[in-house]
Structure 1
Amino acid sequence: MLAIKLRRIGKKGQFSYRIVILEKRSKLNGRYVEDIGWLNTANKQFHLKNDRAKYWLKNGAQPTDTVYNLLVKTGVISGSKRPKHKVKKVEHESN
C-alpha cells in the first residue's frame, strides 16, 4: 500500500519537508516513488503538485494526518481537517 508522507530534509534547526509517495512500510529516508511537493515550516510556505496528488489518491495512496490537512487546504480533498492531537480515552476507576 502506498502512502503520502512528509520526509524531513535540511540542516539542524533549518529543516523543511518533501511531500513524497512511498510504500507504507518502507523507511522514511529510503527509496520513494515520487516527490510531489515541499513544505517549509520556518516561513509557513508549501507547494504541491495538485494533479499528481489527485492521481496518487485515485490509485489508493493514503495521506498522513498532516498531509491530509495540507490537501484540504489546497482544495485537492474536500472536507474538514483532521485534529492535530488525538483525544485519549479516559478510563474510569471503580472503587
Structure 2
Amino acid sequence: MATTAVEDQPVQAAECEYIAEDARPETKADVRINDEDPALSRARFKKGDVVQMPVVCNGIRSKGVYTVYDRRLSKKGWFEYQLKDVYTLKVDRSWTRENVLKPGK
C-alpha cells in the first residue's frame, strides 16, 4: 500500500511555531528610517512639537495650533513642515516654511 505525503511528515507541536516577542523585528524587514539627519538637526522644530501659525478664517485673523507631522530641508535651503491640526487631527499635506511658524505652548 502506498502512503501519502501527509502521512510521512512528522507532527509539529504548536510551541515550535511560536516566535518570541523579543525576536521579532520592530519594523517590517528590519528597515529603520534615520530621522537624525545632520541637516535636520539645525531645524527649529522637531516632529511632534506644538507650533502656532496665523490663520484667516471668514475674514477674521486668528491663531491656529498645530503639531509638526513631518519636516524637510527644501532645495532652496530653508526648512519646511507638514502640520497636523490639534483639534481635528487632519494633516495638511502642503509644506509650510519655518519663518511662518512660532513655538506653541
TM-score band by shorter chain is under 0.3
Question: For the pair shown, which has the larger CA radius of gyration, 1 or 2?
Answer: 2
Q: TM-score, normalised by structure 1?
A: 0.25
TM-score by length of 2: 0.24
